[in-house]
Amino acid sequence: MICNKCGAENPDAFKHCAGCGHKLQSGGEERRSGAGRALRPRRLELLETHIPVASPEVLGKYVEAWLVAVLVCAATWVLVDRQLAWPFYPLAALAAGYCRLRGITWGL
């Protein structure tokens, strides 16, 4: 086996190059397992893209989540404009509690 780093010739049983110590890698054609039988690399199956059709319930949850987010952003904008920071914390807790009770999560 030839080292990728220094080009030195090494026996096939070596895991590291005798010249530079670099980890040796197989050529990818076939690998040997501990039992001595040849293993061939498997081809990866193509992933099928599946775009689920949104039901009206899921679409309603998306709309509700966006409304909550827009209301929190608008309230934050007003609070920053008036230089008030403390009302943001209970507002964020109320919005999170509302989303939790309504079942609005990241996974929807």
Residue pLDDT, tens place only, 14-27: 888 888 888 887 65
- Please give the torsion angle defined by the CA atoms of residues 59, 65, 69 and 71, in that order, rounded to the nearest 10 degrees: 90
Q: Classify 66 as helix, strand or coil.
A: helix
Matching residue, tokens 């026996």: 11
Residues constituting the chain:
108
Residue pLDDT, tens place only, 21-66: 888 876 544 444 455 555 556 666 666 666 566 678 778 888 888 8
Which one-letter amino acid corresponds to residue 16?
H
Q: How far apart are CA 57 and CA 43, in angstroms?
A: 39
Indicate the pTM of the whole model: 0.44
Residue scoring higher pLDDT (94 or 105): 94
Burial class (CB in 10 A: 0-12, 13-18, 19+), 3: buried
| pLDDT value, residue 74 | 93
Q: How far apart are CA 99 and CA 104, in angstroms?
A: 5
